Amino acid sequence: NAGVTQTPKFRVLKTGQSMTLLCAQDMNHEYMYWYRQDPGMGLRLIHYSVGEGTTAKGEVPDGYNVSRLKKQNFLLGLESAAPSQTSVYFCASSYIAASGGYNEQFFGPGTRLTVL
């Protein structure tokens, strides 16, 4: 199993350009998440999805859109990139616990995005 994979690994954009980050997981997980990691800030949740066709806003959703057309994929879009969106983006997935407890999330390797 590849686990959680992210494409691309690195990208440089100019202000105003758009792009889509792809996250894929092969663990048949229901839940998927997008986070951004900034120096001294830890990770902050952008958007998440509890299943195919559903998405929800996290802590810092402005300037981003997401889609979950297939269970295994979760796309993060930047419609008009801004320098404030320079960050490392991590995707994660998680599964439903039979006991109802909260399970750990499995993370991808990250995408380093620079907006000039």
Partner 1 sequence: GNSVTQMEGPVTLSEEAFLTINCTYTATGYPSLFWYVQYPGEGLQLLLKATKADDKGSNKGFEATYRKETTSFHLEKGSVQVSDSAVYFCALRGGGGADGLTFGKGTHLIIQP
- Which residue ranges make up the site for partner 1 (CB under 8 A)? 4, 30-31, 33, 35, 40-45, 48, 50, 58-59, 90, 92, 94, 101-110
- Nearer to partner 1 by C-beta: 85 or 108? 108
**Looking up tokens 């440089």, which residue turns up?**
12
- Nearer to partner 1 by C-beta: 48 or 64? 48
Whole-number minimum distance, CB 33 to partner 1, in Å? 5
The dihedral region occupied by 79, where left means phi > 0, alpha psi between -120 and 50, and beta the remainder, is alpha
The alpha carbon dihedral of 99, 27, 88, 15 has a sign of negative
- Nearer to partner 1 by C-beta: 1 or 40? 40
Cα–Cα dist 113/116, whole Å: 10
Whole-number minimum distance, CB 72 to partner 1, in Å? 16
- Nearer to partner 1 by C-beta: 19 or 50? 50
Whole-number minimum distance, CB 14 to partner 1, in Å? 25
Whole-number minimum distance, CB 46 to partner 1, in Å? 9
- Alpha-carbon 68 to chain mean position: 11
Cα–Cα dist 22/61, whole Å: 17
